[in-house]
Structure 1
C-alpha cells in the first residue's frame, strides 16, 4: 500500500539523534577486539557501536602501510554490498510514492532488455530472479563461469590492468543476460549483483533522474548523510580515508599495489557506494526504527526468504539473521577490493554496529577466514546473549 506524500514527509522529517560518545576506557573490550582483529591480518579497523550505554567509536592498526597514523574514525570507505540495502530502501520509498510496484514484472519498466516476464521487481531485490551474476558464478558442482574481470577468482592482474575502466550498467546487464539463467524465476535463491544493476536502471527509467539524484532526494538528503556518495564511475574517495591494497602476481613476481583509487563501475549498484561508520549508523537506525519507510513496507523488506545459509534469510536488500541467543539481527555486509564493511542492527534500531576493515586483498580472498572470525567476534561483543530481540 502506497503512503501519501504527507506520510512520506513525516518520515523524512524525523531526526536521528546520536547518543553522546562514551569514554574509551569504559569500552576496553571493544578496543581490545579491534586490536586483535588487526592482529589477525588486517591493515586497519574502525568500529562504531551504539547501544544503551551510548556511542563508542575507535580504530586500530594503520591508515596506510608504512605510516604510523591509525585509520580515521570519521573516515570514508567503499561499502561494497551494503549499497544494496540503500538501493532497496530507495525502491521502497518509490513504492510508497506509488511510482513502482513490487510485484510488477521488471520487463514492464525495462522492455529494452526482453527480460523473462515472470521476473518481478521483488525478485530482483530478493535475489530470486535467477539472472546470471555479471561478476561471475560458482555452481554447486564447482563449475565457475566468469563474467567481467574482478579482483577475485583469477590471477588478479587482468583486474589490476583494467581497474580504471568504465563499465556502463546496460553493458553489465547485457553481458549477464547473454548467459543462461541459474533457475526459473522465483524457484530458487542466488546472490547476483546484476539484480541490483537492473534495479538501478529501473529507478532511472521510472524517475527520469540518475540513481545519485534519487538517492540524494529520498535517502541521503533526508537523513543528512554528509559522508555518503554514489560515485558512478569516479575512482575518487573523499578525504579522510584509510588505504587498501592488492597483492597479485605479475611475470612470476608478487606485487602489492595501493588500490584505494579505482573505478567501481565494474560492480555498479551491486556495491559501489562510499560512506562512513556514522552515516551507516544513521541509515540503519533510521531504517529499522521506522524513520524511513512506512511500517508495511519495512515489514516487507525484513520478511526473510530462505537462502540455504543456516539461520539466515534474505528480505529485500537485507539479511535477517537468527542469533544463538534466540534474537534477530538485521544486517548486510560488504566487501570490495580491500574494504570490508559490517552493518548490524537490532530490529528496533536501538543497538547497532557499523565497522570498516581494510586489508591487503588478493585474488584468492585469503583474508576470508579472518574476516568471518572478525565479524563473529564483533557481533558477540556487541549483541551478547539475551540482549537481542525478535522481530515479533
Structure 2
C-alpha cells in the first residue's frame, strides 16, 4: 500500500519518489474542479442547460442528470476482462443509448461515468483546449502541482505501479484516467478544499451533497452523499469526509480530507487488491491519528 498525509499548511509525507498510480474516479474530482473554475470565470452557469441537453452542469457533476452508465453493460465487463481494446466513445454511447434519459434531471440519482464524459466535452468546448491542457492550465498548475497526466494508452498505464501486471486499456475510462503520485492526489484535494482555486461560495456548493443513505456495510460511512465531483459523508466521532474513492482492475485509490475546527488533514491511499471499504478504513484511521497528534 502507498499513502500520503497532508496536515494543513505542512508538506506531505511522501511515498517512494516517482511512483505513479492510476487515480481512477478521483479523476472526477479534478474534472469537477476544472469545470467549476469555468463557473468562477463566468464561462458557464451551474444551473443553465448545457450541450443542447435538458440538464445542467450541477446535475452532471452530482450524478442527477438522468443518464445511465456503461458499467451497466455486460459486454463492457466482458471486453475489459478479455483485455480488448476500448470501444470508441461513439460506439459506447450507441451501445448504451447513452443520451436517453432514464429519469427527469434533478429528480433522482444514478452514478454515471457518462456524465463526466460530457463534462470533459463541455470543458473542451468552452476552453478550445484538449482536456489535458485545460485540466493542467485551470487546476493542476494553479494548485502548484506536477507529475500528473492522463493515461491514454496501455503503455502509459504500464509506467504506473500496476506495471506489466496490467494489460488494461485506459480508453475504457471514457472521462479520462489521470495518473500521478499519491502525494499529488493528497495535495490536490487539500489545496482545492483550502480555497486555493475556487471561491468560498463555490466550495460550499461543491460540498452541498445529495444524501444517499445511511451506513454502508463494510465501509466507514455512517451517512453517505455526493456533492459536485466529491463523495461526502459522516464517520464515527462526528467528523465529515470529503473526497473520492476510485477503483479499477486490480487496485483502489481513496483520497479524503477531514476538518476539526481550524485543523484539517488530508490522506490519499492506494492499494492493489484491496476493497474500497478496506482502503477507506485505513485512510480514515490515518486521518484520525494525525488529527489527534496535531
TM-score under structure 1 length normalisation: 0.65
Q: Which of 150, 154, 168 pairs up with 1:230?
A: 150
Contact 1:325 1:385 in 2 (8 A): no
Which residue number corresponds to residue 301 of structure 1? 206
Q: Which of 104, 107, 127 pairs up with 1:187?
A: 107
Q: Deviation at 1:235?
A: 2.1
Q: Are 2:169 and 1:263 aligned?
A: yes
Cα distance per residue 1:210-259 (max 9 Å; x no partner): 1111011111222333221123x3223378642368xxxxxxxxxxxx21
Q: Deviation at 1:289?
A: 0.7
Which residue number corresponds to residue 213 of structure 1? 133
Q: Deviation at 1:193?
A: 0.6
Q: Number of residues paired by the alignment?
A: 283
Secondary structure of the residue aligned to 2:190 is: helix
Q: Which of 301, 304, 318 pairs up with 2:230?
A: 318
CA distance in structure 1 between the partners assigned to 2:153 and 2:59 by the alignment: 29
CA distance in structure 2 between the partners assigned to 1:54 and 1:294 by the alignment: 23
Cα distance per residue 1:289-343 (max 9 Å; x no partner): 1101111111110111122354111110001221211121112011111121110
Contact 1:149 1:159 in 2 (8 A): yes
Secondary structure of the residue aligned to 2:31 is: helix
Aligned pair in 2 of structure 1 residues 377, 213: CA closer, same or farther (>3 Å)? closer
- Superposed CA RMSD: 2.7
Which residue number corresponds to residue 76 of structure 2? 149
Which residue number corresponds to residue 62 of structure 2? 126
Aligned pair in 2 of structure 1 residues 319, 178: CA closer, same or farther (>3 Å)? closer
Q: Summarize the alignment of residues 45-194 of structure 1 with structure 2, pairs less than 5 Å apart.
A: 45-51=1-7, 55-57=12-14, 72=16, 74-106=18-50, 110-111=51-52, 115=53, 117=54, 119-136=55-72, 146=73, 149-150=76-77, 156=78, 158-163=79-84, 165-178=85-98, 181-194=101-114
Q: Which of 323, 340, 343 pairs up with 2:255?
A: 343
Contact 2:157 2:170 in 1 (8 A): no
Secondary structure of the residue aligned to 2:2 is: strand
- Unaligned segments of structure 2, at least 5 residues: 216-222
Poorly superposed stretches of 4+, deviation over 6 Å: none
CA distance in structure 2 between the partners assigned to 1:386 and 1:234 by the alignment: 40
Aligned pair in 2 of structure 1 residues 262, 240: CA closer, same or farther (>3 Å)? closer
Secondary structure of the residue aligned to 1:49 is: strand
Q: Deviation at 1:54?
A: 6.7
Q: Deviation at 1:73?
A: 5.1
Name the larger-Rg structure. 1
- Unaligned segments of structure 1, at least 5 residues: 1-44, 59-71, 137-145, 151-155, 246-257, 360-366
CA distance in structure 2 between the partners assigned to 1:148 and 1:275 by the alignment: 30
Aligned pair in 2 of structure 1 residues 274, 192: CA closer, same or farther (>3 Å)? same
CA distance in structure 1 between the partners assigned to 2:81 and 2:169 by the alignment: 11
Aligned pair in 2 of structure 1 residues 236, 210: CA closer, same or farther (>3 Å)? same
CA distance in structure 2 between the partners assigned to 1:319 and 1:304 by the alignment: 8
Aligned pair in 2 of structure 1 residues 300, 379: CA closer, same or farther (>3 Å)? same
Q: Deviation at 1:381?
A: 3.4
CA distance in structure 2 between the partners assigned to 1:179 and 1:238 by the alignment: 29
Q: Deviation at 1:95?
A: 0.7
Q: Are 2:288 and 1:383 aligned?
A: yes
Contact 2:246 2:254 in 1 (8 A): yes
